[in-house]
Structure 1
Amino acid sequence: MKKFIKSKITAALLCTFIITLLLAGCTQSKKSNTGKNSGNQEKDYDYTGFEDYTEDSLGITLKLPSKYLNNETIIPGKYEIMFGDISQLGKDTPKSETDPTEHMDLFYMPQKGEYCLFRILAYPSDKWDNWMNSGKKATDITGSSVSEEISRKDGTVYIYDQPTVDTSTLDSKNKASYEEIVKMLPAIRASIKAKASTMGDLGTFSTKDLNGKAVDNSIFSGHKLTMINIWATFCRPCIKELPDLQKMSENMPEGTQLLSIVGDADDDKLLKLAQQILKDKGVSYTNIIPDKPLKQYLDKNMVAYPTTLFVDSSGKIVGEPIIGERDMSVYKEILNERLAQVGP
């Protein structure tokens, strides 16, 4: 599994990304390895001493214990993974071919060692369903003892996954702390929810595309819906999905179009790099260079690359933004949903 980004949250920023008392009243929930929700809810637990935590790029919120976050004994980590086709499961293919598009891990980090307490995995729901309907179990793909579906949103299924941990290297004190945290996992799992994402309307802009052609808000007129993929030259998941976006742009539903904004194209060096990337990936659809108003908009609204927006003919946002890489089948499903929202 190839790590792209791992964000460690410090004590000063504990309540911002994917959580001094211990949860004494938690009871162990019944675990499932079938991929189905075990049914426990927040109301079943006491969250005294927990903090709300938001993972914007994965689109989830949850509660995590303050005591262990504040001393950095447990640390959220974010990984962005290149998505592979899970239909290849069981065939002679690398494990990376069955990895999810993206996921969050919660690590227990004593002085020696690093243990993953649980993961939240995100898969395209159609691929996940096809795989589950084949008669396999969720644990077959995750390789863990506990894996269960927790929610769905915008063509994505979220899986709670709890790996088996070898604690043989822990001393008695750290082992006691670890076991105490593990008892909290049912409560943490019950607190995980899909988060609504919002971004403001694009506003007025007048700029150029990467070919030097003038572009302004009138680019949206004449189209019921425009899909806008916002990417950056440093973002590998962004670059990976460009060829698929090109194919999608060539077969858009009537009254729709696809274009992009290169979020970091703010100097000649990056402009040339963006042009080279698009050439290498065979991309011909419009890629917009942000002018000052667009750059200010991105700085204010963006939480991660890539982000995909849908706007109507006047440039008004339609539905929620899609944060992070998605399979093309998911993009197409969401495009049709947003098109239905616009109406005739």
Structure 2
Amino acid sequence: MPDADVTQRPQAGQTLPVENKQVHSQWPVGAKPDDHSAMPWFQPAPWYQHLARFMGMTDSQCYMLGADQPGDSAAEWQLALYCSAGGRQINSLSNYYSPALGPKAPALPGDWLQLFETVGKTYPAIQRLQLQPLTAGQQQQLQQLQVPGWGFFFSHCSDNWTARAENYWQQRPSQLRNTIRRKRQKLVADGAHIDISQLATPELVAAYWQVYQHSWKPAEPNPDFINALLDLASHNHSLRLGVLWLQGRPVAAQCWLVADGVAAIYKLAQDQTFDHYSPGTVLTAALLDHVIEVDQVHTIDFLTGNDHYKAQWMDNMTPLYQLQAYRLNQPAALLQFALLRLKARIRQWKQRIVAVARTR
């Protein structure tokens, strides 16, 4: 697919301070966090520290929950959580900025059981534990799990789009390939070039924000978090920051994260003034070529959101789920769980009635 004028820059950056709070296994300041994650390209512990800070949470609200003993097999999992309602509700530290449950979600049934046991013992007044997003595999694993004293309610919260890097372009629609070819030729003729960097330089970061401010997207909820993420990704070598320039002006910008053979498309923006050039489409193609040929990834991940345009770039869509787990020994939680299940059952009955009515 289209070649690009790609500028590779050297690695640079300073180590970010790490301060972790973990139930049962306290880490000292500066300790190296678990580099595993819920997704292959990982959201390390500092990711959640930045997220908590920019969400305005205090240290007493947030913590890392892991195993009872560092040597346990369950030490392979670690979750960032936060408390609310005086410890009666605990939630995974996740929002639109964190497309995975992490830093590393439990993988084995025993690990999930230990999670619920630890939460119950640490917070005896807890009424609800909410975790999201869960992959389809995690949802199925939890659905089959019998956890004494807990009631589970699952709901669909988003979707995840992925594609295999092998023979990637052969799998894409001919209309998309032809569009990229035509738009690239026009951009090159008018003096465009592309930078792809592993370093968040001041020039490229400024270019990203300039494009974002002139895009169709709403105002960024927390620009400080994005800037911190760019610095973090520069330091851990996962950043691929792409900018398409046209006659000296940035007109498209994208932030990708690459690790463990997976390229995640995290943020993208296009200057509306130049929509007729489709610079975002051309930049996406250039970054795809880069991560496939240079980074040699095996998977492209468009992360969360069921945006219709993702279908032409990706192969598969899988659902993501939210879990609301209620502590059934708490009367208020038991009532909430019963009402939630009743409402779900009523919706199912209504859907069946409508379906039957349509067949008549």
TM-score range, shorter chain: under 0.3
Structure with larger RCO (C-alpha < 8 A, sep 6+): 2
More helix by share: 2
Q: Which has the larger radius of gyration?
A: 2
Q: Give TM-score, length-normalised by structure 2.
A: 0.26
